A and B are shown apart, each in its own frame.
Chain A
């Protein structure tokens, strides 16, 4: 947490400075791309997970600050992890940083968006709109298919 805070703090400072001295390096909106998204099926009241690749094609690092969707009461960024003795667990993974030119992969068994308490059944063939808000780029909305398993 301390590390994340200090990184954010440093980042806030440095980006402010850059904007003052070198406006050419401003973030070009629209260059953060969301691709290969899919959503697991689920029943109303239950959970689901969202997977995708986020590419930061801008010249600056960005942070995935918040996720939301009309289909769920809440959406959170989580990661599955391996604990001791091969145990498997899950924990929140807020404020993921995506460096300039890099990609963030959300894949089964790792980082994922958790849809908590679905407002309706999600079945394969449906599609779902998810809002991603980034600290630099702002909010991007993507529609993703519901699939039982990524082929």
Chain B
């Protein structure tokens, strides 16, 4: 019994030690990268430098998704409303369907879900969006559906279900299952990272 405890303790210390050596976990360091994206008012935004100095909660959506993506957006809003102080936190939703999600479509989405100024909805040229998505390990593929085949613009997407926290320096630090993570978990980490 005792020895088991010691072994566990030793493993625990080893884990702490290893973590200290590798520094803070970073999923992707975008601090030296720049992606020219478009805001929902069509203005140009350089990602991530636009958000430098603020801790940013990032999720990925497409607006033709009426079931899971609104859950992700609602979860982002729950994180926002659960934060006692949101002064240095930004919320960003990036579409992985830039062909259909033009700035004006994203503007409609923000209106429908009543997102305030702390939310930024981003789209961009498909090639730029694609390179950012692959940099962030976000996968999104079009899925044709039989009943919708008459029109090539009718498709659904199979996509990653991810929320990230990016720190003030453009380093993506933590990752969550977007539609199911309890907001408290993200809030707790936000307090540590910001």
Interface residues of A (CB under 8 A from B): 40-43, 46-49, 74, 76, 78, 80, 82-83, 85-92, 108-109, 112, 114-116, 123, 148-149
Contact = CB atoms under 8 A, between A and B. Distances in A.
Interface string B153-165: 0101111111000
A136 B111 CA distance: 41
Contacts of B157: 89
Given A47-B64, A116-B154, A149-B70, 5 more contacts: A47-B63, A74-B147, A88-B161, A112-B66, A148-B113
B67 A108 contact: yes
B145 A88 contact: no
Nearest to A123: B112
A42 B158 contact: no
Interface in B103-135: 105, 108-109, 111-114
A46 B67 contact: no
A43 B106 CA distance: 11
B165 to A, nearest CB: 17
Nearest to B158: A89
A47 B70 CA distance: 11
Contacts of A90: 65, 67-68, 143, 156
